[in-house]
Chain A
């Protein structure tokens, strides 16, 4: 199957519910792995990659989670497809020629995904709702054990799992949480909060662009060390960092929405809702900023007529790569017009659905 087919799958970027869902949008844990006796993807020949792909597809099918997985080929993928795969959180191969035997495996449970022959030979990841690092890591470790029984990982007794990028060697673990830290960004406290993570072996990166103020204050918090630390310790460090940020974010949210600052803040939130519902042209960064403001308003119980689920799916669906795949490669201005009309349509659809539910409810009351 072509990668475009993945648009039909509901691969989650953020979840509306879960533990600490007001700040933590999702938790992920995954592993980078290479196979013994084969060069890493940067130097492997096409024949090697073909053998690796066959082996890994067969090996992954031995694991229950990937038994009915669909394979989505990246062969002949263009810029839009590459961007889309990047938006799914998958690092792309080192050179476009390596795309020939690269593919993604997505089972019916779309919280699990695997990339074969990408920048490492194998990467698989489990994504779950809310703040659930340890359970997600356990699930990913079980997958790792199953796959490791079927294929032979590149392993060194002293250095651990061997990766093309030495920064991943050791555990090969990538554990992360997507956080909504708009309160800290608006309060001007984000750099102080991020600095406290340095000694916790955790790093924070803004997700949708370099400037978090413009792109809604979404941050990916992930483990920064893979050598000399166990998988469980990495998860504990990440949990500690996220807990710290959650507390700081809630405090900042109360500060920006309290006292004299409330009217200005409320105005900003309601304006953002208006922009999403009525704007005629919108870049992704602007959309992310407005979605962030509305999300903040919902979390602070400001009585906004919008649902968290809609905002989460919009945040995923209006990204550049996904838009380019669904409407074709358009000039920037036309794509922004398409994005704005798509957002308006989704809001209208959600409003109709809400009205329908309300009408059904009142009819049931009358009948009952």
Chain B
């Protein structure tokens, strides 16, 4: 289906609007949608949030990130489709695995793609705390793993947390 405004490109979105007191459905391509946003004095992308996507053309327009098939978080194994169904992410790495999709979600639901406000910097004491609450066997396994990976600093940190606990 061609765009009802330019009649050149494939229509990607369906937008319902009121023209002279009548409800009119416009089938627009991405460029004409942006033009419409500019005409209405809206921010870029504001209208596409309310517009209904029309088949595959919407992904080709580049406005909407392509619906990923079989995308999974490598850390917790949560599939993107599962997240879409529940609205709940599995682990901090999910934010890395689904970043483009989540950024799209943030842009349209919260009006921004990135954080603002206070920064956070972790300290070494919290890593020590993490190992100090582990059981002895778990801690020994972590030390072995760190030594195998030649991360002697981490091994020392874990050992240090054990000594601290003994005291």
Contacts and interface: CB of A to CB of B under 8 A. Distances in A.
B105 interface: yes
Secondary structure class of chain A's binding surface, majority of residues:
loop
A128 B4 CA distance: 56
B115 A159 contact: yes
Contact of B126 (A51, A150, A166): A150
B17 interface: no
A229 B92 contact: no
A54 B133 contact: yes
Contacts of A227: 106, 110-116
B125 interface: yes
Nearest to B120: A155
Secondary structure class of chain B's binding surface, majority of residues:
loop
Contact of A229 (B112, B129, B133, B134): B112
Contact of B106 (A166, A230, A232): A166
B92 A162 contact: yes
Interface in B114-151: 114-118, 120, 122-123, 125-127, 129-130, 132-134
Given A34-B92, A38-B91, A230-B117, A152 B111 contact: no
Contact of A228 (B76, B78, B115, B126): B115
Interface residues of B, number: 36
B90 A39 contact: yes
Contacts, number: 134
A226 interface: yes
Nearest to B91: A39
B112 A43 contact: no
Contact of A40 (B91, B106, B114, B122): B91
Contact of A170 (B75, B91, B110, B126): B110
B102 interface: yes
Interface string A132-152: 000000000100000011111
A55 B122 CA distance: 15
Nearest to A225: B110
A42 B90 contact: yes
7 contacts: A149-B125, A162-B95, A165-B87, A166-B105, A170-B106, A231-B118, A233-B116
Interface of A: 34, 36-40, 42-43, 51, 54-55, 58-59, 94, 141, 148-156, 158-167, 169-171, 225-233
Given A169-B106, A229-B116, 5 more contacts: A39-B91, A149-B126, A160-B115, A161-B120, A166-B105
